[in-house]
Amino acid sequence: MTVKVDKQPTRPVILIGASNLARAFPLVVNGLRAGLREPLDVLAAFGHGRSYGLWSRMLGRTLPGIVRCGLWTALRKHGSDSLPPLAAVTDIGNDLVYGVTVPHLLAWVEACLNRLAEQRAEIALMALPLESVERLNPWKFELLRRTFFPAHRIAWPVLFDRVNRCQEEMRQLARVYGIRLIEPPATWYGFDPIHMLRRRQPEVWRELFSQWPAWDRSASIAYPPLAESIRLRAIRPAERYLFGHRQITSQPVLKRNRFKLSMY
């Protein structure tokens, strides 16, 4: 007699962001494994300088806008036998430095929220670091702009006004979608007002993960061993240009027992 073994359903986890997610990615993956008990299919779209809608270039590497990448096609392939997805939407703001208007940026963000809502996702949404940015002096802004965004010359008063308007619009967007908007406190940042302190990262991601009822709040969040961190940071996305040469990588890029990872 053949005994039928019920297969445990998979939980899709969608991670969207830019440099803060990139910097903390090994810790994020470790936290997901610790706090979610079911098999996971992680679909991630992030990268230093990542835009929500434009092709973005950083140090010779170019990535598509998040709303245009292959993550959404992969998400739609999950059938009704999967558990409802969990999603973290973070690092909204690079596009303002690139000269994108607030309505245009919010349209991209809302497109992401719409697609996630269609899949019945539990969404954790992080706002811009307004409290940290408010402490920024014009000379310090100019120093940081030249360091991180040297090709973009937006004036500080213009950017500060757009950050404030974007924050208010995001609060309204969160109310419409019934999502709690996490507004980062200034204590999460140091001299650099947009990149979170490494020592604060476990606190940051615990706050995000805690928005998902399925995540075990007693789970620990810590960086994995160095070798594992290096391996996760070296993973290639599905599509990118490196110094003008297109690279295509089949996904998922990582398969382990009860865990899959795809990068876009």
Within-domain flag for 3: no
Residue 4 has pLDDT above 70, yes or no: no
Within-domain flag for 1: no
Amino acid at 90: T
Determine the straight-line distance between the first and last CA of the chain, rounded to whole angstroms. 44
> Over the Cα atoms of the chain, what is R_g?
18
pLDDT band of residue 6 (cuts 50, 70, 90) is low
Least confident of 44-53, 83-92, 156-165: 156-165
Within-domain flag for 246: yes
Residue 7 confidence (pLDDT): 77
Mean pLDDT (whole number) for 190-196: 91
Please tell me the pTM assigned to this model: 0.92
Residue 135 has pLDDT above 60, yes or no: yes
| CATH number of 176's domain | 3.40.50.1110
Count structural domains, the chain: 1
Within-domain flag for 61: yes
Within-domain flag for 5: no
What residues make up the domain containing 128?
11-263
pLDDT band of residue 185 (cuts 50, 70, 90) is very high
Residue 91 confidence (pLDDT): 96
Structure tokens at 29: 């993956």
Residue 257 confidence (pLDDT): 86
Residue 3 confidence (pLDDT): 44
pLDDT digits (tens, 9 = 90+) for 89-116: 999 999 999 999 999 999 999 999 999 9
Contact 95, 130 (CB under 8 A): no
Within-domain flag for 227: yes
Residue 41 confidence (pLDDT): 97
Amino acid at 58: M
Within-domain flag for 4: no
d(Cα 136, Cα 174) in Å, to the nearest integer? 26
Residue 62 has pLDDT above 90, yes or no: yes
